[in-house]
Structure 1
């Protein structure tokens, strides 16, 4: 399914963003103290903000991937006590009642501020900081990926339920 591949690619990007974020974070710490000792400025606002941006990439682009991999917070303690058919029904209900409405709500709420940020080419308030409109774009993008993966999971759950009812 195309949605699965899309979220796998987003998850791959998120993993690399985390590694890069850790590297930049380590440099920021070492650079701050080494810079103090040497009387130099070895870090910058751009590097500090890059850490946050990379965290945004990992977290927001990883939402759909985490759902696909069943890595979200779940109620497995309650589900494990149910029959497989009941588990599928509860997951389907949770997807329809909780996940999809929440993802759509965030999309609707975040779209206008993101568009406004792009129109203004919103920048960081800190000198030498990164553009904010890029980071804000990750909010609707991440929740779009989550909603799309939610639809894919919904289709899978419905098919699994139909097979159980037929078999």
Structure 2
């Protein structure tokens, strides 16, 4: 089972390895937009939207990796003050009854919008923008699947550890 958890980790590690470059690309594109606008009086709605697309892609696809490296937001009012065994029980409960059901609900409720967007190849957000809103909306279920996979990997490890 731990081999399955390691394989699931590799999915999010691979995705993070690819999308991390979007942070650099976003910075360079945003710099180009600012220089173009203020130095040359040029403006491009599509270029501005590309920053939005890159930011959304980076945020949504790196969420599973963030969970993997334990850098997600944790409300640890009680968590930090309890024993390792209690932390393990809290984590198991959180994965099984909070995180996974939330992600499944997100897939369920977002899927009709994603499907409809693909059916019409939904166009740009703004006039002159990128004609690929259907790709942007597709990030929602992909995000949920990546988080579910990482949650499953963490859950396997939690259940494999024997705590006295």
With structure 1 as the length reference, what TM-score do the two structures score?
Answer: 0.88
Deviation at 1:30, TM superposition (A): 1.5
1:6 lines up with 2:11 in the alignment: yes
In structure 2, the CA distance between the partners of 1:31 and 1:64, relative to structure 1 (3 Å rule), is: same
User: Partner of 1:140 in structure 2?
Assistant: 141
Q: Could you tell me how far apart the structure 2 residues matched to 1:62 and 1:116 are?
A: 25
Deviates more, 1:84-93 or 1:69-78: 69-78
The equivalent of 1:164 in structure 2 is 163
RMSD in angstroms over aligned alpha carbons?
1.4
- 1:80 is paired with a residue whose SS is helix
Q: Would you say the 8 A contact 2:107–2:144 is kept in 1?
A: yes
Uncovered stretches (5+) of structure 1, i.e. residues with no partner: none
Tell me what 1:99 maps to: 99
Runs (5+) with no aligned partner, structure 2: 1-5
Q: Determine which of 30, 33, 36 is the counterpart of 2:35.
A: 30
- Residue pair 2:125, 2:133 contacting (<8 A) in 1 also: no
Stretches of 4+ aligned residues off by more than 3 angstroms: none
In our comparison, the structure showing a higher alpha carbon Rg is 1
Alignment check: 8 A CA contact 1:104 1:143 kept: yes
2:3 maps to what in 1?
Answer: none
Is residue 61–residue 143 contact of structure 2 (8 Å, CA) maintained in 1?
Answer: yes
1:58-97 matches, cutoff 5 A: 58-97=58-97
Instruction: Give the length in aligned residue pairs.
Output: 158
CA deviations 1:49-90 (Å, max 9, x no partner) are 100000011100011111111011113452222111111011
Deviation of 1:125 (Å): 4.2
Which range is displaced more, 1-10 or 45-54?
A: 1-10
